[in-house]
Amino acid sequence: MKKIFFIGAFLIGSSFSNAQTIAAARAMGIGQTVTIRGVITNGSELGSIRYVQDETGALPIYGTGLNSLLRGDSVTATGPLFDFSGLLEISPVGTFIDHGVAPGGLPIPLNIPLTAANESLEAQLIRVDNVTFVQTGTFATGNSTVQITDGTNTLDVRINGSTNIDGTAIPSGPVSIVALVGQFNANYQLIPRDLNDIFPYVAPQKEINVKVSNNTVLSNTTYTIGNASTAQVTIQNLGVGSLSVSGATITGTNAGDFSITIAPVAIAGNGSQNYTLNFNPTGTGTRTAVLNIASDDADENPYIINLLGVGTDNLATQPTTNPTGLTFPLVKAYTIGGQYNAGTNAENYLVLWKNGSPLTGVPIDGETYKRGDVVGDARVAYVGPGMSFTPRGIIANQTYYFAVYAFNGPAGFENYLTTNPATGTVTSQGEQIANYYNGINVSSNALLSDLSALINPHTVISYFNYKSTMMNQFELRDTTNGQSFVTCVYSGEKKTFNDPFDWTALGYSREHTYSHSWMPTFPADNPEKPEYNDQHNLYPTNLQQANTPRSNLPLEEITGSTVFNYLEGSVGYNVNNQLVYEPRAQQKGNAARAIFYMATCYNGVSGNNWAIPSNQSQESLKNWHYNDLPDNYEIARNEYIYSLQGNRNPYVDSVQFACYVDFSNMTYITDAPCSVGLDEQLNANLVVFPVPSNDKIYVQVNSLNIENLILVDQAGRTVEKIENVSVPVIELNAKKYQSGSYILIVETNLGQVQRKVVIE
């Protein structure tokens, strides 16, 4: 049974000059747009997902309109990389071309042991032999997960209800399974496509398998010996008959540094033979060779293992040049994507970044860095062979500095080229409101209904998908050693974990700020209604220490005794002796705006009034709203949800709107007695977009006319002055100005406000 991975002629020439190998696409950053070409290995039996494989790897594609793609078809597909509960995929597919049946048909399934089902083989078509199902009886109807075992190890098998497997008898005795390698949360799983993928195991007559240091090394893959002088090589015969091994040779650039003595031998069925691989480097830097083991195995002769070691300096060979041409094709308020050109003789890249000022940190040879690690005054944004990166934790209106270093070598033997790294600076966008609120007037009695009509209906994202959207793409942050953390918005707890994120494992939940039980449509979760899963209303919280204590209590200041406390979140009594929940100060304004949004978005739908409960003080919420204005995190969050749902939270975009709404009965307030200060009001309502800009810059102050505008450069010189215009929006031509930072001063009849802008 083949354990090598060779697809050969089943691919035909690409019609897209920008198509990448799948391995290269997988190395790019989340959110980056990739174009791949490969062969489809499943059909409609798995729904709207198609697994695409080429000679370098595999990557699923997801989206509507893929039903025409059949097993064995060659396809070119383009779209952004997306993390769906640990599974890397292209989603949604923007465009694709079905080239018809690939000349070579489907790839040959890669025969692997259970322990080899991991990230390196994710989405590939594989085969496992001589395994048994742990469960007995029948596969459950619908989707289910069962386990298989090889006697020592177990692995999940995902049975999709859309296949013809569910509801059938679970085979007893040893079986072989052909499947796709999937992932859900931290668990890798096998995904068979139909009943033909599960069949009785028939032991081969002779079958070679090679382990080095007790780990199976698949043919045509690499074993890293590092600087060790020896390693044990075990040749196994997984068949029932005798396997004849005729010897071994070592070839390649540094073949003289490696030696192994394998004399002709017959290995009995289910037997093995041990040998010693010796490594004695005769020079410095990277040392490579190829071990070829000859046998009478029908389809793995020779068995090929690439050997990788390091020389007498205990470091790999240094790259010749660092990468060049660092650019940022993806710039939003909530994400940034960088790309660069490859360095010469470089295997991997280390991307460092810092917010606010140029970084000076430099990597150290022999040190293994992971995402989030601290390097001097910088942190690691990316480590790997890819030509792009997407750092996590981007927020609005920030200037980020980057440096990209090339390096070679396995863990512990890295050699970094520390001179002339690729460097670059980019500023994340701020609010991108544009003309979204055209026609909305705070002086109109129809303000509330106009806002409701503007933000509803919108695109609905399921409650289940909140993890793949808000968590994986926005809320999660990096910490050291490649780990991540999530912040409980109520208590401020920072919970550290190993990726991927999992609600149950971490004890976290999606908190409805406007409580589910407050909703006029309660219960709204079965089936899900848009108000139940609206992402403007959902935040991550610790289930037992924040979500459950809050329950459906009103949000307010605690002035009496406290009955429960966890970090910065507490349950206690307010001035009226009511039991309330008080979140951390940083979340108070955010929570108020989420409640205002929900009350506005769904008010009047199906005749329902979405007034807040009588025990929830709107005065407290409005005070929080005025005193905790949207920060750059909340601005970025609003922009990201806008990209998902297609609607904005008006109360994040403008502090004024809340002044004119009575949320206790959802009516318009004619004479709004806003308690927000004038400076805060002007700052909150000034909109400058896009930032940075290289074309047009639009300036507006929501609900006010601009009387005068002044643009000042860093030296204090006035480069633009527009006076006595009294217009709601001013359009500037950024091409007139030199690249750099400027101060924009805007005057209205209520006063003056200013904002930093960046022109590229």
Reduced to 3 states (helix: H, G, I; strand: E, B; else coil), residue 121 is: helix
Q: In what order do the strands lie in the sheet with 230-237?
A: 215-216, 208-212, 230-237, 272-279, 258-259
pLDDT at residue 181 greater than cutoff 80: yes
The token pair at 3 is: 């354990």
Is 3 among the domain residues? no
| Residue 559 and residue 646 in one domain | yes
Is 435 among the domain residues? no
Is 340 among the domain residues? yes
Q: Which of 101, 122, 148 is the last residue of a domain?
A: 101
| Residue 144 and residue 187 in one domain | yes
pLDDT at residue 760 greater than cutoff 90: no
The token pair at 149 is: 């075992």
pLDDT at residue 9 greater than cutoff 50: no
User: What pLDDT shows up at residue 2?
Assistant: 45
Predicted confidence band at 282 (pLDDT cuts at 50, 70, 90)? very high
Return all residues near 196 (Cβ < 8 A) that are at least 6 apart. none
Q: Look over the chain and give the mean of its residue pLDDT values, rounded to a whole number.
A: 93
Pairing of strands 154-159, 187-191: parallel
Predicted confidence band at 704 (pLDDT cuts at 50, 70, 90)? confident
| Residue 25 and residue 174 in one domain | no
- Which residue bears the tokens 């409701």? 452
pLDDT at residue 16 greater than cutoff 60: no
pLDDT at residue 584 greater than cutoff 70: yes
Q: What is the mean pLDDT of residues 434-462?
A: 95
Q: Which percentage of the chain shows pLDDT scores above 70?
A: 95
- State the virtual CA torsion across 238, 239, 245, 248 in degrees, nearest 10: -30
Q: What is the mean pLDDT of residues 185-189?
A: 90
**Residue 310 burial (CB < 10 Å; 0-12/13-18/19+)?**
buried
| Residue 634 and residue 486 in one domain | yes
| Integer Cα distance of 95 and 319 in angstroms | 37
Reduced to 3 states (helix: H, G, I; strand: E, B; else coil), residue 753 is: strand
pLDDT at residue 5 greater than cutoff 60: no
Q: What is the mean pLDDT of residues 521-542?
A: 97
pLDDT at residue 377 greater than cutoff 70: yes
Q: What is the mean pLDDT of residues 116-122?
A: 93
Predicted confidence band at 701 (pLDDT cuts at 50, 70, 90)? confident
Predicted confidence band at 684 (pLDDT cuts at 50, 70, 90)? low
| Residue 706 and residue 753 in one domain | yes
In 3D space, the residue among 57, 60, 55 whose CA is nearest the CA of residue 42 turns out to be 60
Q: Which of 648, 676, 704 is the last residue of a domain?
A: 676
**Residue 164 burial (CB < 10 Å; 0-12/13-18/19+)?**
exposed
Is 141 among the domain residues? yes
Is 315 among the domain residues? no
Q: Which of 255, 278, 310 is the last residue of a domain?
A: 310
| Residue 362 and residue 399 in one domain | yes
pLDDT at residue 4 greater than cutoff 70: no
| Residue 195 and residue 65 in one domain | no
| Residue 524 and residue 631 in one domain | yes
The token pair at 707 is: 């009387």
| Integer Cα distance of 391 and 507 in angstroms | 26
Indicate the number of domains in the chain: 6
User: What pLDDT shows up at residue 755?
Assistant: 82
| Residue 353 and residue 465 in one domain | no
Is 318 among the domain residues? no
Residue 291: CATH number of its domain: 2.60.40.10
User: What pLDDT shows up at residue 678?
Assistant: 52
| Residue 303 and residue 337 in one domain | no
pLDDT at residue 495 greater than cutoff 90: yes
Is 671 among the domain residues? yes
| Integer Cα distance of 36 and 44 in angstroms | 20
Q: Pick the residue with more confidence: 675 or 632? A: 632
User: What pLDDT shows up at residue 683?
Assistant: 66
Pairing of strands 286-295, 303-310: antiparallel
Task: Report pLDDT digits (tens) over 190-248.
Answer: 999 999 999 999 999 999 999 999 999 999 999 999 999 999 999 999 999 999 999 99
| Residue 670 and residue 544 in one domain | yes
User: What pLDDT shows up at residue 269?
Assistant: 96
Is 177 among the domain residues? yes
| Integer Cα distance of 121 and 189 in angstroms | 11
User: What pLDDT shows up at residue 519?
Assistant: 97
Residue 140: CATH number of its domain: 2.40.50.140
User: What pLDDT shows up at residue 13?
Assistant: 33
In 3D space, the residue among 751, 752, 735 whose CA is nearest the CA of residue 743 turns out to be 752
From residue 152, give the alpha-carbon distance in Å to each of 114, 117, 131, 155.
10, 15, 10, 10
**Using only C-alpha atoms, what is the Rg of the chain?**
30
Predicted confidence band at 511 (pLDDT cuts at 50, 70, 90)? very high
Q: Pick the residue with more confidence: 726 or 406? A: 406
Task: Report pLDDT digits (tens) over 33-76.
Answer: 999 999 999 999 999 999 999 999 999 999 989 999 999 999 99
Model pTM score: 0.84
| Residue 165 and residue 135 in one domain | yes
Predicted confidence band at 314 (pLDDT cuts at 50, 70, 90)? very high
| Integer Cα distance of 416 and 347 in angstroms | 11
Q: For residue 609, give its domain range.
A: 447-676
